[in-house]
Amino acid sequence: MIIIGEKINATRKAVKPMILERRETELIELAQNQADAGAAYIDINVGTGTGGREDEVEAIRWAVTTVKAAVAKPICVDSADARVLAAGLAACDGHDAMINSVKADPDYLAEVLPIAARHDVPVICLAMDLEGIPKDVAGRLAACQTIADAAGAHGVPEAHLYFDPLVLPIAADATQAKVTLDTLAAVKDRFPAAKTVMGLSNVSYGLPARAQLNAAFLAMALYAGLDAAIMDPMDSTMRAAALTGTALMGRDRHFRKYSRAFRNA
């Protein structure tokens, strides 16, 4: 399973000043720690909620350039603003990257997909449209189809699409975990070359012992066809769930990763 390290996100209290004050050493440390813990991509979201668009463009340029120079991992440029994405990708300048994210919004797709095509990078595609997150599998699949069609039209290959089936808190609606898992399986079925990705922790919002729910959900999602997760790679419970689920799915040749993590446990 591909881990996308989620920690460099300016909405987190500890990260916000790091971005605003350009604390280079701390930023690199946060990226490196995630890489050391097994992250294949380092997500960077500089949306602090303060300042304007130009500030964010400046911030993403700085953050990407800083991380890219110090940590040998691809960067997942994370923003809901096409200009920030464009600036982040430009700053990557050949360094492997990914775009996080688009949804089934035709205008936005027309802005972002050309960036993905130009830089030849994968894109995370949220299974939602302008009305929000559909409550059922058919609705989410339809959103994925809209994105896939647009991607085809803009020359982004299916193999570069990472569909996120999205997950709503089960505390409010207990059927939602299964809707997400069924969407995963349906996406795999309809877009066989595409990959799937998910941020899992939403599922447990509002319930106790969240780590336990998140870990079980990750294992089930791996069975349903999850390829990548946006998560905290330093979270040992989640790491264990990822290693265990991958091993049980027969996707860890000779149990190398599983055994290496646990043989002396």
Partner 1 sequence: MNQTELIEKINFNIIQGRMTAEDEGFDEGLEGQPAVTELIEQAVEAGIDAKIIVLDGLTGAMETVGAKFDKGEYLIPDMLASAECVGAAMDILAPLLADAGVESKGKFVLATVAGDLHDIGKNIVAIMLKGAGFEVLDLGNDVTTGRIVEAVKANNAQFLGLSALLTTTMREMGVVIKALEESGLRDQVRVLIGGAPTSEAFAAEIGADAHCRDAFHAIDLLRQMAA
Interface contacts to partner 1, rule CB under 8 A: 253-257, 259-260, 263
Between 13 and 263, name the residue whose CB sits nearer to partner 1.
263
Between 36 and 93, name the residue whose CB sits nearer to partner 1.
36
From the CB of residue 233, how many other CB atoms can be counted at a distance below 10 Å?
Answer: 23
Between 190 and 260, name the residue whose CB sits nearer to partner 1.
260
Between 178 and 256, name the residue whose CB sits nearer to partner 1.
256
Between 178 and 260, name the residue whose CB sits nearer to partner 1.
260
Report d(CA 30, CA 37) in Å as an integer: 11
Report d(CA 175, CA 76) in Å as an integer: 31
Report d(CA 96, CA 74) in Å as an integer: 5
134's CB contacts (< 8 A; 6+ apart) are: 127, 128, 140, 142, 143
C-alpha torsion 148→154→158→162, nearest 10: -70
Cβ at position 263, least distance to partner 1 in Å: 7
> What single-letter amino acid sits at 186?
A
Distances (CA, A) of 165 to 94, 100, 224, 246: 29, 14, 11, 19
Report d(CA 112, CA 135) in Å as an integer: 26
Between 210 and 257, name the residue whose CB sits nearer to partner 1.
257
Cβ at position 1, least distance to partner 1 in Å: 15
Cβ at position 122, least distance to partner 1 in Å: 21
Cβ at position 258, least distance to partner 1 in Å: 9
Cβ at position 249, least distance to partner 1 in Å: 15
Q: Is 100 helix (H, G, I), strand (E, B) or coil?
A: strand
